[in-house]
Amino acid sequence: MDNIVKFNKPYMFEGNEYTEVDLSGLENLKTTDLIEADKIFMVSGQVAMVKEMNVGYACILAAKVSSKPIEFYQSLPAREAIKVKNMVTSFLFAQD
């Protein structure tokens, strides 16, 4: 799986321009990573029926598997954030 999210337009964050983000680290997630993400999600006050389909939860996991801070993902234009969420969700629910 590619796990690269390509942006429609260049995205500026902290003075740097990004055209894509590499989420290939999803392949290396462990159960302990999911447990930690669950804790962060709950402490942040977010609530979701299915957290794996929540944009906020996807941002937490994306930050965990990439070299970017969570603020990078939280500041994305909405359309790009949905691409990240879809990538994370697709990975989590994929069946081999």
Domain count, the chain: 1
Q: Identify whether 22 is part of a domain.
A: no
pLDDT tens string 23-82: 999 999 999 999 999 999 999 988 888 888 899 999 999 999 999 999 999 999 999 999
Q: Identify whether 7 is part of a domain.
A: no
Q: Identify whether 71 is part of a domain.
A: yes
Instruction: State the amino acid at position 27 in one-letter form.
Output: E
Q: Identify whether 19 is part of a domain.
A: no
pLDDT of 47 reads 81
Q: What residues make up the domain containing 76?
A: 30-96
DSSP of the chain: ---EEEEEEEEEETTEEEEEEE-GGGGG--HHHHHHHHHHHHHTT---SSGGG-HHHHHHHHHHHSSS-HHHHHTS-HHHHHHHHHHHHHHHH---
Q: Identify whether 77 is part of a domain.
A: yes
Q: Identify whether 1 is part of a domain.
A: no
